[in-house]
Amino acid sequence: MLKLFHHPFSAASRFARLMLSEHDCKVEFVTERPWERRPDFLQINPAGSVPVLVENDGPPIAGAPVIMEYIDETRGYAMGDRRLMPNHPEARAEMRRLVLWFGQKFHEEVTHYFVHERIFKLEIPSSRGGGAPDSQILRAARANIRHHLRYIGWLAGSRDWLAGERISFADLAAAAELSAIDYIGEVPWDEDPHATAWYARVKSRPSFRGLLADKVTGLPASPTYADLDF
Amino acid sequence: MLKLFHHPFSAASRFARLMLSEHDCKVEFVTERPWERRPDFLQINPAGSVPVLVENDGPPIAGAPVIMEYIDETRGYAMGDRRLMPNHPEARAEMRRLVLWFGQKFHEEVTHYFVHERIFKLEIPSSRGGGAPDSQILRAARANIRHHLRYIGWLAGSRDWLAGERISFADLAAAAELSAIDYIGEVPWDEDPHATAWYARVKSRPSFRGLLADKVTGLPASPTYADLDF
């Protein structure tokens, strides 16, 4: 039995949910609010961050890139030619570079700003920094996402999928970040047709359905969030 | 032929140098100053960060955790029981969690502050933010390193090596971060005897010698930096 500690609008958690779904894993979900720093959860992951995966009575598998390697090592072989990890070490390196690019660089420069300011601050008590979004931070995130969309468009325009000829974990990592921002309507889809066409392909996969059903109380999804022909 | 684009006081670059040395790789080193954003280097790694490894005419392998997987995939098997990657997926997950802990969390909360303020700002032109260190930032880093040393001490006291019974990439990742801080004498070694004893064991490995010979122009190493019985 697999158990995933996650938050529905944590992009790294979304990446974990996508990979688990692509591998047809049955998962029990536990929603964690990392800002609460719940003592029992800190025992599981001293970093206090989501996602964390636990299989049966095994040790915690903490962090999306760590979960990725674990899922591939334990279940990748059974995927045959649907495997999300490329075969060659050089192609794996390019895929892993992009997973870190989206999980770290894109996340810090774009997703974290948008999601923290517009979603998490609705849930975080004001004593811990919750409240109204900071418009200066949102402005910076809006400038940054344009550069990043161009890079995604360049990758998607020069390759079939972001890391190469086949869909890989890199596509899921990137789409997970974008999906959280798309909920609040902050992805300028008009900017780059290659990026938009690539995202439409990832979004239409059955593994995406769970994400498209997520809701924030008091904040409806943008009109195109669950629309496959956005 | 392997070529490593690195900076001598980038902790992630030091991690790459340690792993390459542990695998007895012959490497050509190219010193890169990431703040210069050299156009030819941005072609190799659009993130503009070091380390980047290139093997013969192959594609760039960018980022320390990506280099780690590549080195293990291409050379780990030949290491036999000296392999730095544990055998079992669960043990690998714990090792990878710690590699990300040190490369991200420890780095952002401790190493980046110390090294940027006290070493890189000597080299960075004042027009790009170089100059005297910010004492408030150093104070925060000094508080943070105590918490982290306690965690390292707890790991080293309850296991033979940080990730388990055998030395692994996690020990190199942690020691790489500490070594850059040790150069400027900012590791409070009196705090935790387990952490200190563990670091002494890693520091005495032949792979460490190159790091201990590094020098910053105009800033001598702390008296204990190259001392194996510090």
Q: What is the CATH number of the domain that holds A180?
A: 1.20.1050.10
**Beta-sheet pairing, A27-31 with B61-62:** unpaired
Q: Which of A58, A73, A93 sits opposite B92 (nearest CB)?
A: A73
Cβ-Cβ contacts under 8 Å for A80 (sequence gap 6 or more): none
Residues B101 and B76 in one domain: no
Residues A54 and A98 in one domain: no
Predicted local distance difference test score (pLDDT) of residue B38: 97
Under a CB-based contact definition with an 8 Å cutoff, are residues B7 and B32 in contact? yes
Residues A150 and A48 in one domain: no
Residues A35 and A117 in one domain: no
Residues B100 and B207 in one domain: yes
Judge whether A226 lies within some domain: no
Sheet holding B61-62, edge to edge: B27-31, B2-6, B52-55, B61-62
AA letter at B60: P
Residues B185 and B99 in one domain: yes
Domain boundary at A28, A53, A82, which?
Answer: A82
Residue A96's alpha-carbon distances to A64, A103, A147, A177, A188, in angstroms, are: 12, 10, 21, 16, 26
Q: Which of B59, B66, B97 sits opposite A66 (nearest CB)?
A: B97
Q: What SS3 state is found at A89? A: helix
Under a CB-based contact definition with an 8 Å cutoff, are residues A71 and A23 in contact? yes
Q: How far is residue A75's CA from residue A70's CA, in Å, rounded to a whole number?
A: 8
Predicted local distance difference test score (pLDDT) of residue B229: 83
Predicted local distance difference test score (pLDDT) of residue B70: 98
Residues B181 and B71 in one domain: no
Q: Which of B212, B40, B8 is nearest to B122 (CA)?
A: B8
Residues B102 and B57 in one domain: no
Residues A75 and A42 in one domain: yes
Predicted local distance difference test score (pLDDT) of residue A71: 98
pLDDT digits (tens, 9 = 90+) for B16-25: 999 999 999 9
Residues B11 and B63 in one domain: yes
Q: How far is residue A104's CA from residue A65's CA, in Å, rounded to a whole number?
A: 11
Under a CB-based contact definition with an 8 Å cutoff, are residues B130 and B123 in contact? yes
Total structural domains in chain B? 2
Interface probe, candidates A2, A67, A90, chain B, greatest B C-beta count within 10 A: A90
How many contacts (CB atoms, under 8 Å) link A and B? Answer: 68
Write down how long chain B is: 230
Taking an 8 Å cut-off on Cβ atoms, the answer to whether B63 and A97 are in contact is yes
Judge whether A223 lies within some domain: no
Domain CATH for A75: 3.40.30.10
pLDDT digits (tens, 9 = 90+) for B139-190: 999 999 999 999 999 999 999 999 999 999 999 999 999 999 999 999 999 9
Predicted local distance difference test score (pLDDT) of residue A230: 80
Query: Would you say the ipTM is above 0.85?
Result: yes
Domain boundary at B23, B54, B82, which?
Answer: B82
Q: How far is residue B181's CA from residue A19's CA, in Å, rounded to a whole number?
A: 37
Q: Residue B104: its chain A contacts at CB < 8 A?
A: 104
Residues B186 and B78 in one domain: no
> Which residue is associated with the tokens 């996690």?
B170
Under a CB-based contact definition with an 8 Å cutoff, are residues B160 and B166 in contact? yes
**A94–B contact, CB cutoff 8 A:** yes
Q: Which of A47, A67, A96 sits opposite B69 (nearest CB)?
A: A96
Domain boundaries, position B30: 2-82
Task: Work out the percent of chain B whose per-residue pLDDT is above 70.
Answer: 100
Residues A96 and A75 in one domain: no
Judge whether B218 lies within some domain: no
pLDDT digits (tens, 9 = 90+) for B86-95: 999 999 999 9
Interface probe, candidates B90, B92, B154, B158, chain A, greatest A C-beta count within 10 A: B90
Taking an 8 Å cut-off on Cβ atoms, the answer to whether A73 and B90 are in contact is no
pLDDT digits (tens, 9 = 90+) for B197-226: 999 999 999 999 999 999 999 999 999 999
Judge whether A55 lies within some domain: yes
**B101–A contact, CB cutoff 8 A:** yes
Taking an 8 Å cut-off on Cβ atoms, the answer to whether B73 and A92 are in contact is yes
A137-156 b/e (C-beta count within 10 Å ≥ 16 → b): ebeebeebbeebbebbbebb
Judge whether A54 lies within some domain: yes
**A221–B contact, CB cutoff 8 A:** no
Q: Where are the beta strands (DSSP E) in A27-138?
A: 27-31, 52-55, 61-62
Closest-CA distance, A149 to chain B, in angstroms, reads 14
Q: What SS3 state is found at B32? A: coil
Q: Which of A58, A63, A100 sits opposite B97 (nearest CB)?
A: A63
AA letter at B202: V
**Mean pLDDT value of segment B53-75:** 98
**A101–B contact, CB cutoff 8 A:** yes
Q: Where are the beta strands (DSSP E) in chain B?
A: 2-6, 27-31, 52-55, 61-62
Judge whether B219 lies within some domain: no
**B108–A contact, CB cutoff 8 A:** no
Domain boundary at B82, B99, B128, which?
Answer: B82
Q: Would you write out chain A's pLDDT as a tens digit for each of its 230 residues?
A: 999 999 999 999 999 999 999 999 999 999 999 999 999 999 999 999 999 999 999 999 999 999 999 999 999 999 999 999 999 999 999 999 999 999 999 999 999 999 999 999 999 999 999 999 999 999 999 999 999 999 999 999 999 999 999 999 999 999 999 999 999 999 999 999 999 999 999 999 999 999 999 999 999 999 999 998 88
Predicted local distance difference test score (pLDDT) of residue A31: 98
Q: Which of B58, B63, B65 sits opposite A90 (nearest CB)?
A: B58
Judge whether B217 lies within some domain: no
Judge whether B200 lies within some domain: yes
pLDDT digits (tens, 9 = 90+) for B100-114: 999 999 999 999 999
